Every structure is written in C-alpha cells, then in structure tokens.
Amino acid sequence: MQDRRKLKRRHIIYYLLVFDHDTHVLLGHLVDVTTEGMLLISPQALETGRIYTLRMQLPYEISGKKEMVFRARSKWCRKDANPDFYDTGFELFGIAGEDAETIEWLIERSGFRD
C-alpha cells in the first residue's frame, strides 16, 4: 500500500480512548495522529469508507476540554502485527481552529520524538 499522507504521523505516548460519538461504543485506541489523519488499533475490524463522528478522550485538560469530538472517514482496515487486533487508518475532516491546535499541542507535548 502506497503511503500518500502529506504530514508525518506522530506516535502518542498516551493510550487515548476513541469512541463512536453516536453509539458511545469504544472503537479503539489512538496509535498516531496528524491534523489530517490518525491510526486506531482495535479488537474488531472497522468498516471502511464510513464517516464516523468520533469522541477522543484527552490525557488531561487542553484548552478547557477533556475530550474532543470530530469527524473522520475510515480509509482502510487490516490485521495488526498482533493478530488479536486491527489497524484502521482515518482521514480527519473539518479539523480547524481550536481542535487543530489541540491536536498540534498533543503531538508536541505527547508525541514520541524521532
């Protein structure tokens, strides 16, 4: 699979929970993120091509928020290196202003350094 992302994703040191905002079901945990996309690891395969409204818990209060809600499209899903899990790549959209700053702050403060 060709990697077409424009921004390098940063692995996050926290185990951030990501839920389907509409159903309140835990979808998985954030592995890496940019302001344009993210990788989620989950125990179940997630439907590709679907637009989700996601709710992500933040590791601490950022800009007065303990969580952020945003929309994302699942682009692909495949088995993780650990066969008990699946990796799903998401394209984020509508991320601007304060939410983009929150993601950038999270990457800067909580991302692994290369």
pLDDT at 79 over 70: yes
Task: Give the separation between CA 102 and CA 42, rounded to whole angstroms.
Answer: 23
Q: What does the pLDDT read at residue 7?
A: 42
Average pLDDT on 5-14 reads 47
- For residue 4 the two structure tokens come to 């077409």
pLDDT of residue 114: 44
Tell me what pLDDT residue 63 has. 78
Q: Look at the pTM and tell me if it is higher than 0.85.
A: no
Amino acid at 71: R
Q: Are 26 and 19 in contact (CB under 8 A)?
A: yes
Q: What are the pLDDT digits (tens) for 21-47? A: 999 999 999 988 888 899 999 999 999
